[in-house]
Chains A and B, each alone.
Chain A
Amino acid sequence: MRYGLYIELSRCIGCHACVVGCESLNSRAEGSGRIRILDFTLGSYPDVTRWIVPLPCMQCEHPPCVSVCRFSACTRGDGGIVRVDAHRCVGCGLCVLACPYGARRMRPETGCADGCDLCRERLSDGRQPLCVETCPGEAILFGDLDNPQSEIRKRMEEGGADFLGKTYKTRPRVFYGGLEKLIQASPDALSVLESEIARRAQIKS
């Protein structure tokens, strides 16, 4: 069982329901960063396009956050879900620095790291992550990448499955449909996208 997400860019309208939903369920703090939205333009007016790209925790198979953690607070568990154990976390902040996607932040109220765990508790109730369930555009799909019959596998086969940040080599388990369109929108598309990701990774709160 390997859980992952598939995000269909053609269906994301940048409404931030995923962001606020996650904040209301998980961190309870605004701007908490478990899922973020990139929003940038390519080209110049009038030949300009706009791209809105959700940037969740990538639930990597080679997660730097896990590698740097000396306290076994950050682990990969069932279904390959990457998560923070708040009891073990001492708040060193290394995982926050290590994540090239900027998916981790420190919680000021606890001093511990905060990160996405695909709404693990909901999964055990047979639910899906909240971002997936609440998205008005139905842009995010969740499922078992190991199951060839799963909706997510089918969609990936139909629509193509690309991922972000190839240079990082962390093997993300969040895939995107429609990245091809983005890359082809302008000669500098890829570098703009990568610098947007890097820029968001700098924002630690």
Chain B
Amino acid sequence: MAQTSETVSTLCHGCSYSGYNCGLLARVKDGVLERVEGNPHNPLNRGKVCAKGLAAPQWVYNPQRILYPIKRTGPKGTEAFERISWDEAMEILTERISEVRQSHGPEYLLLQKGQSSGWFSLHHLLMLRFLYALGSPNFSSWSPYVCYGPQLFYHKLTIGGPTYTRPDYDRADLILEWFTGGGQGGPSRGGVETLNTNLRSVPKKILDRLDRGAKLVVINPQLIPLAANGRASRWMPIRPGTDAALALSMIHVIIDRELYDRDFVSRWCEGFEELSAHVKKYTPAWAEVITGVPARDIADLAEEYAQTPRAVIRVSEAPQKRDLQAFGTAIPILIAITGHLDRPGANVWFRPSGRLGFDVLADRVSGDVREKVLGADRFYIRAHHRAFAHFQDVVEALANGRPYRPRAMLLYGSNPVSTARDPARIAQALRELDFLAQFDVTLNPTSRFADLVLPAATRYECGDQPCLWGNHLALSQKVISPLGESRDELEVTLDLACRLGMGADFWDGDREVMVRDFLSPSGVDLEELRASRSRGIFLSGDLEPQEYERYEKSFGRLPGGRVQLFNKKLAAGGFAGLPTFLGEPEDPSNAPGLEREYPLHFTDEHSDVFSHHSWMRDLPWLRSKRPFPTVKIHPLTAQDHGLGSGDWVEVMSPHGMMIVQVELFEGLRRDVVMGQHGWWQGCPGLGLPEMPSHEGGVNPNALYPWEPADPVTGNISKNTRVRLRKCGPPKWADSVDS
């Protein structure tokens, strides 16, 4: 048989960030995806691909993939399933969704969208439209609740603008990389990227500038790879969770020493007097006690930032703080008052040249039902016109039945038992559902509570998906046929919509017609885009914005058309109008005496180069580089506890406990224990078993406090205090093939 080889141009699913991904060339031989390489024509990644992207063949041909629909046959909490046909699966879905709407009401149906089954604009819009067409307001997803959404909210509330401000790396002379978690940041959404991926060629941009003499400051409890190899002129090892104190103190120094941009402040800001008075108490000496960073260094950094015209700040997308209001407003304030807003080499707004999309039919949710969205009374949800459900409120509603107990949930590519806090509470809440349908690539801990699990095709097996970044249109294309009976989640949703009698609103189930509709606002048609192959199409305008100081337009929706140094909207809502330091719930100031029993600070790396949230750890090419869940501990701290490299250790907080291995790391504050988010997966290819998520498992989400939350957004803390105890290997370790 002759060997047929072809190369298919498509987009990556290695990290699955919204809207657009790195361009790939998929090498296919006899219908088998052999490997991928970067597409040199794609302006975002210019031919480069990161480790996660390169692992595509193992993602696609993962032996753990579910390849046919399964239905629950045993009690929840187990993986007792039997195979069923798609026909039966769709009948069950249709019946259960209809029943919930009729017997209870549309709001009793929840839809949650994660990333492992696809996460692009098209997916997001279709899921919203589907749910809204059913009349339910209860769409939940990480981005709005814990990740990027809350931070973007504060950013815009302070400095307006169409998007988050993005560092204009290409022209920066000073780069502040400020990661409030422990790792290299989290997922991005059209704004700030992470070095755990190659999205938007951020690594190259930063490195090019450093080669030209730009300076890099890294603010992180640990010495992350970005700061290695002599790159960072300054590493600020901040105590985790205390970032608001650092930011406020920097504002104090800048105002106190009159280093702010007077013209900008007088012309474009309001509330300067109130802010000045307010930050007087946030001295570097005050901040030193809280952050562990010497006062001198704080003052030096503030001066350096204020006095370098071309300076950028990037903070991690998902700060996950109870004290998010202080941090989330302090950062845009810092950017604004120092004259670093929408100027070359500073933090700039990003305006794409075009648009893709279709109406999500939000008006199908009646006014009174919209009021019933879970979390409705939270300021953040109200400010978004109740556009989505707040996940913590979803959990509380399921657990307590208040304001009502949802009945059914559709989970697309999401694994809340592993990724949300806290695992036991989530698992218990999910048990309360009458019906849970999960759509994913492999089973995961959440599957134990699912009534139905449907096999998702990976992006490489799905049809055309147009994506737009800046002014570049690219097409994700099908590389191989779906494995087994796996299906594109878009097709399944269209099919389901038709079965539910909504075909007229869903293109009569025709995926291609939907795609054309989605693409049409760009002015480019699908044939043109297909014909452009690996080059894609550049719309008019520049990929990167060349206009600056777009203040009038960007501040247009702010009270008085000015930057809110004192935030009128928040004040009107009954909240502090000025960024006020609260700290995290288990900081010494909030929990005095806790250090006696729990002397060390704990947080986790939200992501890394070998995994994404709670998936991809079952791929041998990736897992082999970091095979076991660990905590990083400073060697002297470890020694104090009688711990050596590779020892098993119990990490116990006031809320929960996990058992992982010790990794010694000199580049870490001595008072910090650094975990890793998202562990549960085994990797049968390497003889590594699945690991438990709950108490005594490997998931740091069991350790954090559930409350209090940020009163505005409901954001909760990713910080706690722990103690360590050497222990023996956990039971699951017995199943490790040595």
Contacts and interface: CB of A to CB of B under 8 A. Distances in A.
Contact of B622 (A20, A41, A43, A48): A20
B48 interface: yes
Interface in B630-688: 634, 665-670, 685-686
Interface stretch (B129-137, B200-208, B412-420): B200-208
B169 interface: no
Of A14, A21, A51, A182, chain B has the most CB atoms within 10 Å of the CB of A21
A24 B57 contact: yes
Interface stretch (A91-99, A128-136, A143-151, A194-202): A128-136
A52 B231 CA distance: 11
Contacts of B609: 14-16
B211 interface: yes
B55 A14 contact: no
A135 B50 CA distance: 7
Interface stretch (B222-230, B270-278, B456-464): B222-230
Contacts of A17: 48-51, 54, 198
Contacts of A39: 225, 228
A136 B670 contact: no
Interface string B557-572: 0000000000000000
Contacts of B225: 13-15, 39, 50, 52
A138 B237 contact: no
A12 B670 CA distance: 27
Contacts of B204: 136-138
Nearest to A52: B228
A190 to B, nearest CB: 16
A161 interface: no
Interface in A11-53: 11-17, 19-21, 23-25, 30-31, 39, 41, 43-46, 48-52
B384 interface: no
Contacts of A16: 51, 609-610, 625
A137 to B, nearest CB: 5
A81 B611 CA distance: 34
Contacts of B621: 20, 23-24, 30
A25 B34 CA distance: 8
A136 B198 contact: yes
A5 interface: no
Contacts of B669: 45
Interface in B605-625: 609-610, 620-625
B536 interface: no
Contacts of A24: 35-36, 54-55, 57, 621
Interface string B28-69: 000000011110000001011111001101000000000000
A136 B201 contact: yes
A80 interface: no
B121 to A, nearest CB: 24
Main secondary structure of the interface of A (DSSP, over half): mixed
A30 B54 contact: no
B210 interface: yes
A43 B223 CA distance: 13
B55 A41 contact: no
A44 B666 contact: yes
A134 B237 contact: no
A137 B198 CA distance: 9
A48 B222 CA distance: 11
Contacts of B620: 30
Contact of B210 (A10, A14, A46): A10
Given A11-B207, A178-B229, A133 B47 contact: yes
B207 A137 contact: yes
Of B36, B198, B670, chain A has the most CB atoms within 10 Å of the CB of B198
A181 interface: yes
A41 B667 contact: yes
A134 B49 CA distance: 5
Contacts of A15: 50-51, 195-196, 198, 203, 225, 609
A43 B634 CA distance: 13
Nearest to B226: A13
17 contacts: A9-B230, A11-B207, A13-B228, A15-B609, A20-B54, A20-B622, A21-B49, A24-B55, A30-B621, A43-B666, A45-B634, A52-B225, A133-B47, A136-B48, A136-B49, A137-B207, A181-B229
Interface of B: 35-38, 45, 47-51, 54-55, 57, 195-196, 198, 201, 203-204, 207, 210-211, 223, 225-231, 237, 609-610, 620-625, 634, 665-670, 685-686
Given A14-B228, A19-B51, A45-B669, 16 more contacts: A10-B230, A15-B198, A16-B610, A17-B50, A21-B37, A21-B54, A41-B665, A41-B667, A44-B666, A45-B668, A48-B666, A49-B228, A50-B667, A134-B48, A136-B45, A185-B230
Across chains A and B, which 5 residue pairs bring their CB atoms closest together, nearest first? A30-B624, A50-B228, A136-B198, A14-B225, A41-B666
